Structure 1
Amino acid sequence: MAKASVHSLEGIRRTILDGLWSPGDRLQPTTLAEQFETSTTVIRESLTRLAGENLVVIRPNRGFFVPDLNLRELADITELRCSTEALAARLAVERGDVAWESELIAAHHQLSRTPRRLPEEPGTVNPAWSEAHRNFHHALLVPCNCQPMLKLSADLSNFTELYRRWAAPSPAAGKRNVEKEHQEILNAALDRDSEKLGELLDKHYRATVQVVMDAGLTTLR
């Protein structure tokens, strides 16, 4: 993939995941081409690739859009993620070695030391925390050594992260003890308790759906 394409792909992905666009916003290729100093052809290619990651919606004859709020879809995505990661976690526990344990501990340490909210904007998720969060969950599953499963997990994670960003300003998001959840997930992985690890991941992801519901962002439909 050409350097310009990689730059625009990563740039657009970051602006979406950082919550700089609102649900349902239209993504204009000409505007993005100016922003990332590239051609509209490169931008369209990037947007099409992001559609494959559930971060962009393509509407025939209308263009590219940020996904709309849809709790039914979020619930379905969460069901798929729970099932996928329960299997991936079991394989990771079976196949992971001591080096994996060390890398997972390091990823958790980075996550636990990174503020979840921006000090100057308490209602905004810290981009550095989001990156550390993705790295921790990725490190957890890497030893499963199944690339299609890891790719699916990453794509589903991107989708749910959008909702987490949009729900962040709500008081409902502040009531959750995410740090405790991550510590328990780490402990289960290090104890090689795949059953408990799967249960904790299931609870962890369903809690995000509950926060979105409590935040009143959307209703089940």
Structure 2
Amino acid sequence: MAKRTDSETMSKHIRDTLRTDILDGRWEPGARLQLTHLSEHYDTSSTVIREALTRLVGDKLVTLRPNKGFFVPELSLAELTDIVEMRCVNEQLALSLGFERAPLEWESELMAAHHTLERTPRRSDEDPDNHTPEWNHAHQKFHDKLVEACGVPLLTEMTRTLSDLIQLYGRWAGPATRDAKRDLDKEHRDILNAALDRNAELAGQLLRAHYETTLSAVKNGGEVGLACLPHVKLLR
């Protein structure tokens, strides 16, 4: 039983590391993920790598092409519009269910997640064009906490998958996204206050505006960052 637990722990660790590296842009969209290279890089067996990649296929962060192997997904800004709409609809449903079901301690946990988000540096001097991994993590935790009280695992898993895909697009949209005229801190504070008031309609509207502003920034940034990648189809 211990060996099985160790094996499961290793598999999850490799899967989580691969997920983080894909979202951080270690490989370009459309790049092939070679088992031999990855097993050497992560110092593990090709069996563990294959299992991790197969799980990430289910999360839509890896594409499996028959007889060709595993690849980082190719990006299409036209598809991104649909992804954002799906996320808005799913999270609005999750909020309406969650605000009715959430216990009081959920509010404290949400405020703590927001506090961490506000106190985490968004950019660094070393890489000023992209959000820091720490901020991305805190941002995801805040949005996860918003919807988790719905108590529907399939719904929360779907919102997390959509969130990952949007983060992947944002990573490759380039430096133009940092010039978007918005106050992210205020957007998150407004969403927090609506959630604490259990106002599902307002919180849903604010989340939609939050995501659609990001969508516009990624589209605009695509002209700078995504256009240089041969795999990306720009939305016109």
TM-score > 0.5, shorter chain as reference: yes
How far the C-alpha of 1:103 sits from its partner, in A, is: 0.5
TM-score, with length taken from structure 2: 0.89
Within 5 Å, give how 1:99-138 maps onto structure 2: 99-138=105-144
Preserved CA contact (<8 Å) 2:60 2:165: yes
SS of residue matched to 1:58: strand
How far the C-alpha of 1:43 sits from its partner, in A, is: 0.7
Structure 2 CA distance for aligned equivalents of residues 56 and 207 of structure 1: 26
Deviations 1:41-85 (A, max 9, x none): 211111111011111111112111111120121111111111110
Is 2:51 the counterpart of 1:36?
A: no
Residue type of the partner of 2:97? L
Aligned twin of 2:17: 11
Structure 1 CA distance for aligned equivalents of residues 186 and 41 of structure 2: 39
Preserved CA contact (<8 Å) 2:180 2:217: no
SS of residue matched to 2:146: helix
Structure 2 CA distance for aligned equivalents of residues 43 and 173 of structure 1: 38
Deviations 1:89-146 (A, max 9, x none): 1111111222111100000000011111123221121000010011000111111111
Structure 1 CA distance for aligned equivalents of residues 178 and 216 of structure 2: 9
Preserved CA contact (<8 Å) 1:107 1:139: yes
How far the C-alpha of 1:167 sits from its partner, in A, is: 2.2
Please say which of residues 190-199 and 171-180 is displaced more in the overlay: 171-180
| Backbone CA RMSD of aligned residues | 1.5
Structure 2 CA distance for aligned equivalents of residues 77 and 174 of structure 1: 20
SS of residue matched to 1:2: helix
Structure 2 stretches lacking a partner, 5+ long: 1-6, 227-232
Is 2:78 the counterpart of 1:72?
A: yes
SS of residue matched to 2:67: coil
Structure 1 stretches lacking a partner, 5+ long: none
Q: How many aligned positions are there?
A: 221
SS of residue matched to 1:122: coil
Structure 2 CA distance for aligned equivalents of residues 187 and 178 of structure 1: 14
Is 2:202 the counterpart of 1:196?
A: yes
Aligned twin of 2:234: 219
Structure-2 change in CA distance of 1:71 and 1:185 (3 Å) = same
How far the C-alpha of 1:220 sits from its partner, in A, is: 2.1
How far the C-alpha of 1:171 sits from its partner, in A, is: 4.9
Please say which of residues 160-169 and 141-150 is displaced more in the overlay: 160-169
Structure 2 CA distance for aligned equivalents of residues 190 and 206 of structure 1: 22
Identity %: 50
Deviations 1:139-163 (A, max 9, x none): 1111111111111111111111101
Structure 2 CA distance for aligned equivalents of residues 166 and 107 of structure 1: 26
Within 5 Å, give how 1:43-192 maps onto structure 2: 43-171=49-177, 173-192=179-198
Moved over 6 A (4+): none
SS of residue matched to 2:149: helix
